[in-house]
Every structure is written in structure tokens, then in C-alpha cells.
């Protein structure tokens, strides 16, 4: 389909690989359910095809690089092969009966503009601080959340994950929560909202890094030109914090 599209454009003397890939993406993408937010187009869907792409997605498709849409099938196979070669798997540790399966990741990344990311970053930081404060109150503090009815005592103390023996303990820096993950959804008003939080295990850090490595290899031009925020500073901050709070100090290994 792309090859035919290119030959038609060339015959008209106006072929631009980047521009035509963006136009093709716009025309081929199915509209989402009317009234729902359309990530590809950055607006509420009216259910009609052909709406303009959101600026970031327009740039992304313009930067597909050699092969354009013709290369997507190959890139999908490269993605699956790389996951297999790296041995990345996924399993639910709470379900011993579930077989380990290969990890899956979408070929296209989720593109988030800087303004949206500022909102997300501030919101999840606030939520993480709240969760840490609740843990500090339940285990180290006066348990005001229970005494004032902010949390039902039966819900907390009856939960199998509540550690009664830890009550009265204060971790270094009074930091109970070093890592948290959040499930997000965007409403029809375009605002991101937290719908769930995950604090059970830090495995997401590994998947995050693997995802970033895979996508940067598959779409190097887009990754470079769109100025994707780097991850190194976040991992460094985590390690520095753990070292600083460890009994042996920053010299610990």
C-alpha cells in the first residue's frame, strides 16, 4: 500500500517520504469511539476518519526513516526477536499455576507532550508522597488515619499484607516507599488521572529500561529528534538515595 502511495506521489512530482507517511497514518488510522479521547489525534473523537494527527504523532510518522510504513512489519519482527534474545519474560508471582510467558510490548510508543508530562509528574509525585505519609502514620506515627476514620481499621489491620510486628519501626529517612508505579488513563477532557497504584515489587524498572532500549533501536530518528526524556537520572537518584540511607553510607556496595 505504501509503495503504491509513493509511486502515485512521485508521479505528481511532490513525494516527501516523511510528509506522506504522516498523511498515510492520518488516513488509515481508524477513529476511536465518538466521545472518547483519541491519543493519535490529541482530541475527543467525533467518530469520523481523516482528522489531523496530534503534533507529536505527526512528527513521529514523518521520522519513520528508510522504508516508512513498508518497514513496520520488519520492525515488529525485530521487536519480537529482540525480546526473545534478551530473555524478557512476564509472570504473576502470586499465581504459581500461571506459566511464564514472553513479555509483550507495543511497536508504537505512547507519546506524551511536555505539558502533559509536567501534570503527570506533579500528580504522581503527590500521590507517592501521600502513600508514604500513610505508611509512616500506620507504622511509625500515631495512626491518625485510623483514629479519625480516614481509613477503616478493619480494612488495614485485617489485610494479610499488614505487618503488625513492624509497628513502631522507623526506616532510614522515614522513607517507606522508594518505588511506585501508577496506572493512568486520560478522560474525554484530555486530563490524565491515576486509576491504580502498584507498590508490590520493583520489577517495572526492568521492563521500563528494556522498553526504552527496544524503542530507541527501532525508531532511532524519532527517538533523537523528539528529545525523549532520559531515564539515567531517575535510576541514578534511586541508587544514590539507597546508598545514602544504607547503614554503611554512600560507600556501601
Same domain, residue pair 89 and 123: no
Same domain, residue pair 206 and 137: yes
**Residues above pLDDT 70, as percent of the chain:** 89
**For 79-121, what is each residue's pLDDT tens digit?**
999 999 998 888 765 566 666 788 889 999 999 999 999 999 9
**For 203-223, what is each residue's pLDDT tens digit?**
889 999 999 999 999 999 999
- Residue 151 confidence (pLDDT) above 70: yes
Among 82, 102, 122, give the residue marking a domain's end.
102
End-to-end CA distance of the chain: 56
Q: In this structure, is residue 125 part of a structural domain?
A: yes
Q: In this structure, is residue 150 part of a structural domain?
A: yes
Same domain, residue pair 122 and 239: yes
Among 102, 130, 155, give the residue marking a domain's end.
102
Q: In this structure, is residue 108 part of a structural domain?
A: no
Same domain, residue pair 214 and 95: no
Which range marks the domain in which residue 98 is found? 2-102
User: What is the per-residue pLDDT for 35?
Assistant: 94
Same domain, residue pair 91 and 119: no
User: What is the per-residue pLDDT for 20?
Assistant: 87
Q: In this structure, is residue 162 part of a structural domain?
A: yes
Same domain, residue pair 81 and 185: no
- Residue 124 confidence (pLDDT) above 90: yes
Among 43, 74, 102, give the residue marking a domain's end.
102
Of 65-74, 130-139, 177-186, 233-242, give the lowest mean pLDDT range: 65-74
- Residue 15 confidence (pLDDT) above 90: no
Q: In this structure, is residue 107 part of a structural domain?
A: no
User: What is the per-residue pLDDT for 34?
Assistant: 95
User: What is the per-residue pLDDT for 209?
Assistant: 94
Q: Band the pLDDT of 248: cuts 50, 70, 90.
A: confident
Q: Band the pLDDT of 10: cuts 50, 70, 90.
A: very low
Same domain, residue pair 68 and 170: no
User: What is the per-residue pLDDT for 3?
Assistant: 38
Same domain, residue pair 64 and 21: yes
Same domain, residue pair 97 and 149: no
CA atoms within 13 A on the CB side of 252: 12
Q: In this structure, is residue 109 part of a structural domain?
A: no
Q: Which long-range contacts (CB under 8 A, 24 or more apart) does 101-107 make?
A: 103/207, 103/210, 105/79, 105/210, 105/211, 105/214, 107/72, 107/75, 107/76, 107/79, 107/218
Q: In this structure, is residue 151 part of a structural domain?
A: yes
Same domain, residue pair 81 and 140: no
User: What is the per-residue pLDDT for 2?
Assistant: 36
User: What is the per-residue pLDDT for 97?
Assistant: 65
Calculate mean pLDDT across residues 173-193. 93
- Residue 129 confidence (pLDDT) above 70: yes
User: What is the per-residue pLDDT for 11?
Assistant: 38
Same domain, residue pair 146 and 245: yes
User: Looking at the 3D structure of the chain, how many domains does it have?
Assistant: 2
Same domain, residue pair 141 and 233: yes
Q: In this structure, is residue 85 part of a structural domain?
A: yes
Amino acid at each position: 500500500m505504501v509503495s503504491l502511495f509513493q509511486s502515485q506521489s512521485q508521479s505528481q512530482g511532490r513525494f516527501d517520504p516523511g510528509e506522506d507517511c504522516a498523511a498515510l497514518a492520518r488516513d488509515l488510522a481508524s477513529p476511536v469511539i465518538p466521545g472518547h479521547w483519541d491519543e493519535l489525534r490529541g482530541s475527543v473523537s467525533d467518530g469520523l476518519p481523516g482528522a489531523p494527527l496530534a503534533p507529536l504523532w505527526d512528527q513521529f510518522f514523518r521520522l519513520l526513516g528508510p522504508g516508512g510504513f513498508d518497514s513496520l512489519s520488519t520492525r515488529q519482527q525485530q521487536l519480537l526477536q529482540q525480546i526473545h534474545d534478551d530473555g524478557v519474560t512476564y509472570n504473576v508471582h502470586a499465581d504459581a499455576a500461571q506459566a511464564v510467558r514472553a513479555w509483550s510490548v507495543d511497536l508504537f510508543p505512547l507519546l506524551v507532550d511536555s505539558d502533559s508530562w509536567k501534570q503527570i509528574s506533579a500528580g504522581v509525585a503527590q500521590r507517592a508522597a501521600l502513600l508514604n505519609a500513610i505508611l509512616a502514620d500506620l507504622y511509625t506515627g500515631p495512626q491518625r488515619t485510623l483514629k479519625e476514620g480516614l481509613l477503616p481499621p478493619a480494612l488495614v489491620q485485617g489485610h494479610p499484607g499488614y505487618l503488625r510486628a513492624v509497628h513502631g519501626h522507623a526506616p532510614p529517612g522515614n522513607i517507606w516507599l522508594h518505588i511506585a508505579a501508577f496506572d493512568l488513563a486520560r478522560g474525554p477532557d484530555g486530563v490524565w488521572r491515576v486509576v491504580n497504584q502498584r507498590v508490590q515489587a520493583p520489577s517495572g524498572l526492568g521492563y521500563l529500561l528494556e522498553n526504552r532500549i527496544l524503542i530507541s533501536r527501532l525508531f532511532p530518528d524519532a527517538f533523537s529528534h523528539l528529545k525523549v526524556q532520559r531515564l539515567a537520572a531517575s535510576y541514578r537518584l534511586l541508587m544514590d538515595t539507597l546508598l545514602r540511607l544504607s547503614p554503611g553510607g554512600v560507600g556501601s556496595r
